[in-house]
Amino acid sequence: MIMCRYGMAASLVCAAATVHAATTYRLTITRKDRFKIPPSIERVIVDAEKRRLTVENAEAPFTHDVLLSSDGGRTVTALNRPLKTWFDNTEMAKQKRPTGLGPQVKSETKDAKISITEEPADETIDGLPVRKFVIRAGYTTVEDFSGTKVKRIHGITTLLWATDKLDRSLAFQMPPLETGVESLDAELHAKTESIIGFPLRRLTTVSSAYDGGETVVEILKMDIDDIRTVPSPPPEMFVKPAGYTNQPPVYGTFGKQ
């Protein structure tokens, strides 16, 4: 009986350790485009359904430097700590914007196509085995400039390294894989759902060129590292602080972009 009690106690201790453990990792996002934005270094902590993302190198102007969620990322609150303001980031994150230099005029999209293939990957990232996928998407826009129609060719190639050693649900507020073309993004989402695992590295190259014009290229790189199990943080770390004012982003104001 005594041995049984010790066994039950040990089981409870192990269960408690599991319940009260969180996962944290560093997310580095690097963009190479005409804006010359420095890399964004973000720290994510996930504790059951609770999420917190903190931008560690935020420099004004910016819209927010902290994102919070208590329901696994379905709804997200953004904080601007220097200004002590907050706003609902859920709807803003859903807004579709064409990848790269999206058309600013009336346009028609055609010749959309997507392919996903897997390549051999005999490597590890941050000590974890990975699988490598190549995702290619392309489409053509016919843009109307005051009655003059001009064709533009768009191409997107993403190299994705994922591991099945981490749960995919740990991913929080990573740059979405999308083109901004609604029909194409629906197909892209459906096909990428077949990729099992947590993304550790992603390299996306976006190109666009008008008929006879120069090709414009943009590159977005995402890296995950410093993945650790840590004790659960206090609950208030995932809650909007008292005294913050609800204020949607105002572009061009200090502390915002």
Neighbours of 1 (CB within 10 A): 5
- Reference 55, options 99, 89, 95; nearest CA is 89
Residues of the chain with pLDDT > 70, as a percent, come to 83
The pLDDT of 42-52, averaged and rounded, is: 97
The pLDDT of 199-227, averaged and rounded, is: 93
Q: What is the pLDDT of residue 1?
A: 40
Structural domains in the chain (count): 1
Please say if the pLDDT value at position 93 is more than 70.
no
- Its domain, for residue 39, covers 21-246
Query: Can you give the C-alpha Rg of the chain in angstroms?
Result: 22
Give the type of residue at 220: L
User: pLDDT tens digits for 223-241?
Assistant: 999 999 999 999 999 999 9
- Reference 51, options 84, 75, 83; nearest CA is 75
Q: Which of 56-65, 69-78, 190-199 tops mean pLDDT?
A: 69-78
The pLDDT of 198-218, averaged and rounded, is: 92
The pLDDT of 200-204, averaged and rounded, is: 95
Q: What is the pLDDT of residue 6?
A: 36
Does any domain span residue 84? yes
Cα separation of 96 and 77, whole Å? 19
Strand 21-32 relative to strand 216-231: parallel, antiparallel, unpaired? antiparallel
Which of 254 and 122 is assigned the larger pLDDT?
A: 122
Does any domain span residue 2? no
Which of 112 and 61 is assigned the larger pLDDT?
A: 112
Does any domain span residue 137? yes
* Alpha carbon separation from 249 to 38, 61, 72, 79, 92 (Å, rounded): 21, 11, 24, 10, 10
Q: How far is CA 72 from its chain centroid?
A: 14
Does any domain span residue 11? no
Domain holding 190: CATH number? 2.50.20
Give the single-character DSSP code of 100. Answer: S
Does any domain span residue 5? no
Does any domain span residue 223? yes
Does any domain span residue 146? yes
Does any domain span residue 255? no
Please say if the pLDDT value at position 98 is more than 80.
no
The pLDDT of 26-54, averaged and rounded, is: 92
The pLDDT of 165-190, averaged and rounded, is: 85
Neighbours of 117 (CB within 10 A): 9
Q: Please, which pLDDT band fits residue 17 given cuts at 50, 70 and 90?
A: very low
Phi and psi of 255, rounded to 5°? 85, 0
Q: Please, which pLDDT band fits residue 104 given cuts at 50, 70 and 90?
A: low
